[in-house]
Amino acid sequence: MSKKATSNSTNGAQQIDRRLDPIALEVVRTRLEAIVEEMGATVLRTAHSSIYVECRDFSVAILNKDGGLVAMGQYIPHHQGGMQAALNSVLDYRGIATMKPGDLYATNDAYAGGTHTLDVSLFIPIFVEDELICFGGITAHQIDLGGGAPGSYVVGATEVFQEGIVFPQIKVGEDGHYYDDFVRLFQRNVRLPEQQKGDLGAMLAAVKIADRNVKPVIEEYGAQTFKKMLTSILDNSERLLREEIKGIPDGSYSYVDYLDGDGIDHKRFKMKVTLTIKGSDAYLDFRGTDPQAKGFVNASYWNTVASSYSAFFLFFDPSIPRNDGFFRPINVSVPEGTLLNPTYPAPVGASTTEGGGRVYDLVLGALSKAWPEKAFATWPMMWLAVYIAGTHPETGKPFIQAWLDGLATGGGARQDKDGLSACNISASNMLIPNMEIEEEVYPIRFIRRELATDTGGPGKFRGGVSLETEVEILADCEFTMFGSRFEGTEPLGFAGGKPGGPSIFYVIRNGKKIKYPSKVGRVPLEKGDRIVMRPCGGAGLGNPKKRKRELIERDLKLGYVSRKAAAKEYGYQPKSG
């Protein structure tokens, strides 16, 4: 037994109490956050797919031995609640007693803690002196996992079996290395085996950073003190969030929104949440949401829970550490068999951005009603997703491009500010890709990428405008597209503000415009075709007629608002003379 561990076990409560002072707790908390940031930087440096390197569609974390989130990287918020549920599913199935140092566990089962099949979680247990103390984890969206379409977003899927291979809480390695059979199985079931093998290596490198760098922190304080510190860190987050919730008047606040189509039934799906505040507890009840869809827009239960947590991330004091303690005051109830808690084996491929994505908008809308002084208009959690796939004419190799310009929605207007323009969707810290790199890697050419006039919802404070992009296709190939917030389901304004502009998508072929519904799969493209897409704009807040004249004139100068819209929506008239 080490000297530190012996000292910790013999000095009793006085030693522990001294080391649990607020300064020591903050030092440990920030050291753990620095470690997860290093984990994320490792993925950015070592992954092979641009969806990680350019766009950051992954998350990293440290979790305690009970599966509770302790420290998270600033990547995809809903991955964090989802990662906790995924680890809990591994612990429930396998048990701590079976685990050894260097073991590796993977899962992507959307019906057992996962968000959707494409998000694969990998965990490594962290031991000190034969005691399991905590875990390092990563959740990473795979560019492909097989299934019925390149990219594994299968428009028209009616069962989860069509959406790619599932790893149900399996052990995938030991001694810090993957099993060769796991890697072979993985590569045999994906469309870009060599590229994705590199991504698996990046995931492994990230969790090994946690294993290597957390141990010295544990050894410095002693295992027992370190575990008590983790408990205190989580308890502190719970206390801080409860204090915030107490500021909301007790009562119930409902919010309704709609989702446009599932790729099979071209109809609107109703979604509803009722937020009830009782003292320092918040209860979310999704009764009133439509039954589950035939198509892939259903949100897994765990994704609904994770997105609910993440909506609270966005609304409350950003200085409160986001961890399992933050989750404790939030209670989520979702009727089974509905769009937000489907019955197995319903498809859930678009869970994170369609059904589950709309959970953000619902919960934030209800919170805005409950606490109007902090309200903001709809900052849509959706993306206009376009996957382009085929054989590259220069290399002769298959490619799958996740074209992510559709992330650049307009942000919802805030209490005293306009919404951000061409910003990320509310639930993500992803980036749109660099044009030069996209053109180098894929057979496309960017024609334009520009802010779209009149897409920000009018209001005393205007919604942010969105990004409109046009590309030329340089080889025969195919595309899959899905999104929402098209005409008829635009982002909703708040307190008299108006909706943001709708999403648009079309193909230009031989000078003719070809329009599509909100979700289509595996549509052929011809060399020379052009694609135009624009995600929705942010919604406005407050009466547009009360907008200050100088702000309208600034918008006109910057091209955010046209003169026609300024006159119609804001009553603006230029000064004579």
Which residue's structure tokens are 């300064």?
23
* Model pLDDT for residues 520-534, shown as the tens digit of each residue: 999 999 999 999 999
User: How sure is the predictor about 15, in pLDDT bands with cuts at 50, 70 and 90?
Assistant: very low
3-state secondary structure 401-431: EEECHHHCECCCCCCCCCCCCCECCCCCCCC
CB atoms within 10 A of CB 64: 20
Residue pLDDT, tens place only, 557-577: 999 999 999 999 999 999 876
Q: In this predicted structure, what is the pLDDT of residue 382? A: 82
Measured between alpha carbons, how far is 361 from 260 in angstroms, rounded to an integer? 14
Calculate the CA 59 to chain-centre distance. 9
pLDDT of 74 > 90? The answer is: no
In percent, how much of the chain has pLDDT > 90?
90
pLDDT (tens digit per residue) in 155-196: 999 999 999 999 999 999 999 999 999 999 999 999 999 999
Pair 508, 420: CB distance under 8 Å: no
pLDDT at 12 over 60: no
Distances (CA, A) of 104 to 33, 173, 182: 22, 5, 11
| Distance of alpha carbon 551 from alpha carbon 546, whole angstroms | 11
Of 218, 236, 29, the C-alpha closest to 127 is 218
Q: Which residues contact 204 (CB under 8 A, 6 or more apart)?
A: 104, 122, 173, 176, 177, 178
pLDDT of residue 427: 66
Contact between 565 and 437 under an 8 Å Cβ cutoff? The reply is no
Residue (of 345, 426, 330) closest to 380 by Cα position? 426
pLDDT over 90 at 90, yes or no? yes
Closest alpha carbon to 51 in 475, 442, 522, 566? 442
Q: What is the pLDDT of residue 21?
A: 87
User: What is residue 383's predicted lDDT score, i.e. its pLDDT?
Assistant: 83
| pTM of the complete model | 0.94
What H or E segment, with its residue span, contains residue 436?
helix 435-441
Mean pLDDT over each residue of the chain, to the nearest integer: 94
Q: Is the pLDDT of residue 6 over 50?
A: no
Taking only the tens place, the pLDDT of each residue in 387-432 is: 999 999 999 999 999 999 999 999 999 999 999 999 877 667 888 8
Q: What is the pLDDT of residue 19?
A: 58
Quick one: tokens of 538?
Answer: 């942010």
What is the pLDDT, as a whole number, of residue 409? 95
Phi/psi of residue 94, each to 5°?
-100, -35
% of the chain with per-residue pLDDT over 70: 96
CA–CA separation, 119 and 141 (whole Å):
4
Q: Distance (Å, rounded) from C-alpha 60 to C-alpha 207?
A: 8
pLDDT digits (tens, 9 = 90+) for 339-395: 999 999 999 999 999 999 899 999 999 999 999 999 999 988 888 999 999 999 999
Amino acid at 534: R
Q: Which of 387, 340, 386, 337 is nearest to 361 (CA)?
A: 340
Return the exposure string of 78-98: e unless at least 16 CB atoms fall within 10 Å of the residue's CB, then b: bbbbbbbbbbbbbbebeeeee
Return d(Cα 290, Cα 340) in angstroms, integer.
9
Q: What is the pLDDT of residue 16?
A: 40
Q: Return the SS3 of 438.
A: helix
What is the pLDDT, as a whole number, of residue 432?
A: 87
Peptide bond into 345 cis (omega under 30): yes
Where does 462-552 show beta strands of DSSP type E? 467-473, 477-482, 504-509, 512-515, 519-525, 530-534
